[in-house]
Amino acid sequence: MTVSRSSESVQLPSTPSSCNEKISVIRHVKEADPVRNVLYVDDDPLILRAVQRALRETDFNIDVSSSAEQGLRMLNEKQYAVVAADYRMPGLDGIQFLERVRRLWPETVRVLITGQGDFELALRAINKAELFRFLTKPWEANDLRNTLERGCIQYRIIKENHELTCLLEKKNTELVQMNEHLDGEVQRRTSDLLAGLLNALDLRDTETQWHSRRVALYARRLAFELGLSPEEQLTVERGALLHDLGKIGVSDTILLKPGKLTEEEWNEMRKHTVYGYNMLRNIDFLGKARMLVRSHHERHDGKGYPDGIRSEEIYIGARIFAVIDTYDAMTSDRPYRKALPPEVAREEIIKNRGSQFDPVVVDAFLRIPQEELDELHDKAQSEEIAGLD
């Protein structure tokens, strides 16, 4: 058979598969390098012989198939860079066949061969198979060779891009894991440092020894009662644990003074909230917790310090802490008095509901059974707390 003349080919986009996409049919690859493998499908044996003659002197590894069904079986056994198919075939037509190829082997470059009378129909259906190109027949041998050559180049580009994408995803995953490890290590070392500072503060201020640990557990329980997320609960616990960190910056003559402080000394003592806040400034994972450190002496009515803010202007963790701090201070032994009964502390909190304390926070605190608070008290005394971890 003589193949007479060429017709125009139109380039269309070809989409590579994603790195994680599962190919539903497993290939049994025979060649190490499939980039020159070509499959031509047509039910006319004369056309198939003409294709083989046209490609005889080339380096294409050409296989032919007389039906779409046979072509799918061949694709299942061997990897092809380019698949070309005639439009008019019994059973699956060329577009249906190439659409199936697109779904099963999306990286394979697809070419449709169509007669002159089928041009409009093929053009309307072209997107279904996401064709690389199509040729109208009768085609010339040079046009066929050029189309297949460009298809093989396109296939190589697709495969190389796909491999680069997979490599990039792998490196990104490794980088994320490395960063997570480094972030975790930074957090761990920072936590160890802060825990050491808290221990140092406990040694300086024996009056508040264990106080930070108790209020941290109480505050987390109250945050849970208020419906805060687990992440927010942990933030509140951390802030409560660190609330007095700034006292490290207060001189011993004031911090350890046995008698009543003067107004000037009180002004200096009040600065511990800002000292602690500034000490945590560059520790990103404690960003919200440091707001509790700054605002834990603010009042619901705006009469607190250091900023004199009120109501919901105050960070929720600080509003929680205000209630918890009062409860713990009243129910703990102090040099100047013994611990008061829990019911006395609860009465004092109720008395200051709406003035010193946020009413919503007070109501939530009162819902916590006393038995739970007692258990948390004992847990803190045994150092079973990990608010910085």
CA distances from 108 to 99, 117, 241 (A): 11, 27, 61
Please state whether the peptide bond connecting residue 335 to the residue before it is cis, i.e. omega within 30 degrees of 0: no
As a whole number of angstroms, the distance between CA 340 and CA 330 comes to 6
Checking 325-334 for CB contacts under 8 A at 24+ apart, the result is: 325/215, 325/243, 325/296, 326/352, 326/356, 326/357, 327/218, 327/365, 327/373, 328/211, 328/214, 328/215, 328/218, 329/211, 331/377, 332/211, 332/214, 334/207
Contact 68, 96 (CB under 8 A): yes
171: annotated active-site residue: no
Q: How many residues appear in the chain? A: 389
In the numeric block, the tokens 């994680």 are attached to: 20
Q: Which of 128, 247, 271, 338 is catalytic?
A: 247
* Active-site residue list: 247
